[in-house]
Amino acid sequence: MASDANCITPGNAARQLGPKRTESVRRIIQSRFGAICGIVCCAFPWLVFPAKSAAQTVVTQTVTIQVSPLGNLSSVPASVTLAQPTIPFTSFTKTITISYQARTTPSGGGAITMQVTTDFSAAGSGGPSVANGDLTYTCGAADLGTSCGSSPITASTTTQTNVVQIPSSACTGGGTPCSSTNTNSVTMNLSLADTPALTSGTYTAALTFTISST
Amino acid sequence: MVKTFAIAGMMVCLAACGFGQVTTGTTNVTANIKHEATLSVDASDPFLTTGSVFNNYTATTNFIYMIRTTQSTGSGKITVQVTTDFSPTGGPSVATPPSVGDALTYTCTASAPATPCSGTVTAKTTKATSVATFGADAHSSTTGNSGSVVWTLTNDPVYQTGSYTAIVTFTISAT
């Protein structure tokens, strides 16, 4: 009620000003109220006119995503040259970095393996030979999974040998429970035996890395 | 219509993703096998004299070498040089022998692929002298091959008694 009394309406104004000035004040107030009402009606029509009720249809869609295991070799060096040993007849060496991404299921796992798909030279031909056991490697730590470690592994032309074992429920990037980096990596230290028996020359082998995940 | 396309798109994605994945990458690894050589000698043996009075002093230095020379054009050699003459003074000297005819000489043995020096060679302080040579595409065994230098030092009565020491340096090289 107090708010009604304080409200400046034509009725309230007439009561407060008395009968002598009622007519002139009414005109003034009515004209100003007319202008204010026009502005309010144009700017905020929903305050003045009741909303018209709309017909609505609600559709529910169930979206299912199957997040599958994933393995990706982000990068392997296209080519590397083994460094000449500083101490004669020790080993030619080179450290390479393998970058990868992986996602494994709670019941799965993954692995990075390596196989020599093209040998340096045929065994017994005078050059280095993977088939002869001349190429070995060790691994630095992997930031996802368990690397092959510091015990030398002899590379093979016939079987894939271990580089990294990836556990179940593993994933790359984003932080806990996945790895903190968006690309994982592991270093491999390649070592080619350097013996006097080798015939001088340039020899190239192809190493094929495979990542798999389930 | 729009909904139909969205659902169809998801169905295709699911089929394509599948379960389990294998990808591969290949690295070419190159090794440049070049000429190399290394040599080790055993601990120094003292010069000794045996037999008759004023017989020459003798000593033997055994060595093990490993070598690989370049195909067709390569070669190698083992040399020796007296890099520090006998000291203290008053005894033998390679650079300035106290008597004419005083010398430090040696003969060589070396297993193949080395060709040992022939005859008796006089050691010098001024230049390296040959112990063995190698031809192109020479390969020692993986564990190395052996050789030796048999030293002879004149036993000159003018030498003052005492102990004298010299340093000889063996060098192996390959191309």
Give pLDDT tens digits for B70-92: 999 999 999 999 999 999 999 99
Residue B10 lies in a domain: no
Residue B43 lies in a domain: yes
Q: Does domain A70-213 have CATH number 1.25.40?
A: no
Of the candidates A59, A78, A211, the beta carbon closest to that of B28 is on A78
Q: A73 and B23: CB-CB below 8 Å?
A: yes
Residue B29 lies in a domain: no
B65 CA: distance to closest CA in chain A (Å): 10
Residue B41 lies in a domain: yes
Q: Per-residue pLDDT tens for A10-34?
A: 444 444 444 444 455 455 445 555 5
- What secondary structure, in 3-state letters, does chain A show? CHHHHHCCCHHHHHHHHCCCCHHHHHHHHHHHHHHHHHHHHHHCHHHHCCCCCCCCCCCCCCCCCCCCCEEEEEECCCEEECECCCCCCCEEEEEEEEEEEEECCCCCCEEEEEEEEECCCCCCCCCCCCCCCCEEEEECCCCCCEECCCCCEECCCCCCEEEEEECCCCECCCCCCCCCCCCEEEEEEEEEECCCCCCCEEEEEEEEEEEEEC
Q: Per-residue pLDDT tens for A135-192?
A: 999 999 999 999 999 999 999 999 999 999 999 999 999 999 999 999 999 999 999 9
Q: What is the pLDDT of residue B44?
A: 72
Annotated domain spans of chain A: 1-64, 70-213
Confidence class for position B16, pLDDT limits 50, 70, 90: very low
Q: B20 and A210: CB-CB below 8 Å?
A: no
Whole-number mean pLDDT of chain B?
A: 89
Nearest Cα residue to A159 out of A138, A121, A133, A140: A133
- Boundaries of domain holding B160: 37-174
Domain count for chain B:
1
Of the candidates B14, B27, B139, the beta carbon closest to that of A207 is on B27
Residue B88 lies in a domain: yes
Of the candidates B10, B17, B23, the beta carbon closest to that of A68 is on B17
Mean pLDDT of A36-59: 61
Q: B26 and A117: CB-CB below 8 Å?
A: yes
Q: What is the pLDDT of residue A30?
A: 54
- CATH code, domain with B159: 2.60.40
**What pTM value is reported for the model?**
0.74
B40 CA: distance to closest CA in chain A (Å): 12
Neighboring chain A residues of B32 at a CB cutoff of 8 Å: 81-82, 84, 201-202
Q: Per-residue pLDDT tens for A104-145?
A: 999 999 999 999 999 999 877 889 999 999 999 999 999 999
Of the candidates A72, A92, A200, the beta carbon closest to that of B23 is on A72
Rounded Cα–Cα distance for residues A71 and B18 (Å):
12
Rounded Cα–Cα distance for residues A93 and B143 (Å):
20
